[in-house]
Amino acid sequence: MSSANFTSEQITKMDQIIARYPRSRSAVMPLLHYVQSIFGYVTDEGIEFIGKKLDLATAEVNAVASFYTQYKRKPVGEYHIGICTNTLCAVMGGDAIYSALKDQIGSEHDGVSADGKVSLEHIECNAACDYAPVMMVNWEFYDNQTVESAKEFVEKARTGNPPAPTRGPKKLRTWKENSEVLAGFSDGLANEGISAGKASLLGLSKMKNSGNN
């Protein structure tokens, strides 16, 4: 695959990613995120170009891309919603939210709404059981969701005005924008908003109040 699918600016950025590592093949994962930031998903062009860049067989790059569910091999929405359906979130309402959104969006797992704005998948634990049930959008946290709040999110997202995450940055960024962050290019928003919420710190504050520290 030639470099024709990528601008020289994009190629420079890929070279920056590769330069971070003593062995170039280590760059395969951020590069896959970077390809997602360009096309919205991992395209064949992207896999072939990464293989060429890193001197890996395309089969090897494809193996990595297919192993991790965060890499998408077909387009997802501008807002990619993940509903945790592991045990705790599921019983706290995750299953109900998932099935409600499925109807609302009109698609199955990993499917995209007809307007291309939102897509849906059920995800495994995102380490936020204290905020169950949890919804992730473009890997930002939406805590303590209900069927109503989730459906409201989808409606607003479709009009281009998604509500802000309950933790993390003040404004939700798009799938592509966040993919670029995952590729290792900071958007400067890492310290925006709260990172550890009340529920996570509850035990700590209890302990402090009990005078046992």
User: Site residues (CB under 8 A) for another protein?
Assistant: 44, 47-48, 56-63, 66-69
CB of 100 or CB of 123, closer to another protein? 123
Terminal-to-terminal C-alpha distance of the chain: 60
Whole-number minimum distance, CB 44 to another protein, in Å?
Answer: 7
- Find the helix or strand (DSSP H, E) in which 41 lies: none
* Pairwise CA distance, residues 146 & 127, whole Å: 18
At residue 38, what are phi and psi to the nearest 5 degrees? -85, -50
Which CB atom, from 109 or from 198, has the smaller least distance to another protein?
A: 109
Decide if 61 contacts 27 (C-beta within 8 A): no
Nearer to another protein, 11 or 57 (CB): 57
**Least distance from another protein to the Cβ atom of residue 189, Å:** 30
3-state DSSP of 134-167: CEEECCEEECCCCHHHHHHHHHHHHCCCCCCCCC
Shortest CB 183 distance to another protein, Å: 21
CB closer to another protein, 84 vs 172 = 84
DSSP state, residue 92: I
Residue 164 Cβ, how far from another protein at the closest point, in Å? 33
Nearer to another protein, 62 or 178 (CB): 62
CB of 136 to another protein, least distance (A): 19
Cβ within 8 Å of residue 143, ≥6 positions away: 128, 131, 134, 166, 167, 197, 199
